[in-house]
Amino acid sequence: MARLSLEKLQEEIGASSNILLIQDLDGVCMPLVRDPLTRVLPRDYIEAVSRVGHRFRVLTNGEHSGSRGVNRLVESALGPERDPTAEGLYLPGLAAGGVQSQSQHGAISHPGVSEAELAFLAAVPALLKAGVKAMVERLRPGCSSAVLEPLSQAAVLDNQLSPTLNLNVLFAGLQLEPLEQRQLQEASQQLLEGLEEQAQQQGLADSFFLHLAPNLGSRDGKEQLKWASPEHCGTSDFQFMLRGAVKEAGLLVLINQHIARRTGHAPLGDDFNVRTAPRSAAGLLALAKDAIAPEQMPTLIGIADTITSERHLEGTQVRWRRGGSDRGFLTLLQEIGKAFGRPNRVVLVDSSGGELDRPSLLDPELKGLSDPEDPLQLDVLVPGGPAAYVEWFNGMAHNVF
């Protein structure tokens, strides 16, 4: 397929009078790391986001607030002499898959989330830490508390809306072989599914779901685990998330908000959020086509890093299992472009150069990412990773806006 260069993409952005850039964070504007507390955001990138203004929004499964949130990175990059609240330098958009909304001045809201759901989520990190200790003791009997305690602390991300078990620190800290990594993946999935059962017993049967990153798509409403192998570590993040908090729904929320900023009218309603949105991509697309006037729909640029595609055989037939936490919203963005006659673009940044084991864009066949039959068209590839993307973004912000 013919692909665009970043220079050509900049030309297209500059030529559009109504454009919205929707960008993931980890692996895109900063390298992937095992410990989120070690992440760093460049100051010039933060200033470039402010320059792009209402034409830019983030869409991430991470969170804005908290000790591991992106706001801490913004504050650290700017230093004590600058106030991101007053200057409007926080990264605006949706976090936690869409249930945490933030303005550029740092005003945060959680549309559609109940107090009972927040209370259950608050108890999850402690349960995950206890589960990690039990899993590690099974894999490494006699593991000392001096090793176990810091590992369990680092592996559990105590996000307010999406508490997460991150296996990368355990893979590295315990030096696990692929078979042991698989055992840990299986035990982690059972641990998180047990939390779903507890929520059901407390009357929250339709409140939560288990998000796996990376994954191999969904089957019967359940995301499919990507098993560790000698080539790649597979699924490393097990996120306990609010149901409806998926990036596809978040995409439609961001479009609705963008149109409201431009016209003063939200075509999907002022209170539209990911919890009230249709649960399927087909339903989201149908809602957009039914409620949004073609002349109001912006040209969309989706920028992300996490898609997967794995070949497998069903009898003698070759099939592809496709997934990844960004695939859904990128595919919907592409379909919206087709439906509304917009030249929407999908930009994929190479995140394989960070601390995590990921397939690389340097592979001409894009093994592990895409396949010859992939319906998702990758318009722009950024093999230079986050550093190359940030350099381009900063230049684009100054050259175009």
Q: Give the pLDDT confidence of 161-180 residue by residue, as tens digits.
A: 999 999 999 998 899 999 99
pLDDT on residue 199: 97
Q: Give the single-character DSSP code of 363.
A: S
Query: Looking at 48-62, 210-224, 253-267, which range is the least confident one?
Result: 210-224
b/e per residue 199-216 (b: at least 16 CB within 10 A):
beeeebeebbbbbbbbbb
pLDDT, one tens digit per residue, over 269-307 is: 999 999 999 999 999 999 999 999 999 999 999 999 999
Identify the helix (H) or strand (E) that includes residue 386.
helix 385-400
Q: What gap in Å lies between CA 66 and CA 103, rounded to an integer?
A: 16
Residues β-bridged to residue 237: 166, 213
Residues near 345 by beta carbon (within 8 Å), at least 6 away in sequence: 4, 9, 12, 300, 301, 302, 379, 380
Q: What is the pLDDT of residues 345-354, one digit of tens each?
A: 999 999 999 8
- How many other CB atoms are there within 10 angstroms of residue 400's CB atom? 16
Range in 40-49, 98-107, 229-238 with the lowest mean pLDDT: 229-238
The Cα 128–Cα 273 span in angstroms is 28
C-beta neighbour count of 86 within 10 angstroms: 9
* pTM, full prediction: 0.90
Label residue 11 by pLDDT band (50, 70, 90).
Answer: very high
In this prediction, residue 1 has a pLDDT band, given cuts at 50, 70 and 90, of low
Token code pair at residue 154: 């680092």
Question: Are residues 185 and 219 in contact, defined by beta-carbon separation less than 8 angstroms?
Answer: no
Mean pLDDT of 320-337: 96
Domains of the chain, residue spans: 6-59+246-400, 115-206+208-242
Q: What is the dihedral of CA 185, 189, 190, 193, to 10 degrees?
A: 170
Phi-psi region of 125 (alpha: psi -120 to 50; beta: other; left: phi over 0): alpha
Q: What is the mean pLDDT of residues 187-197?
A: 96
| CB count in 10 Å sphere of residue 188 | 26
Q: How far apart are CA 20 and CA 35, in angstroms?
A: 31
Nearest to 348 by CA among 316, 399, 301: 301
Q: Check residues 213 and 268 and name the one with the higher pLDDT.
A: 268
Give 80's DSSP letter: T
Q: Which residues of 305-332 are buried (b: 16+ CB within 10 A; e: fewer)?
A: bbbbbbeeeeeeeeebbbbbbbbbbbbb
Q: pLDDT tens, 105-138?
A: 999 999 999 999 999 999 999 999 999 999 999 9
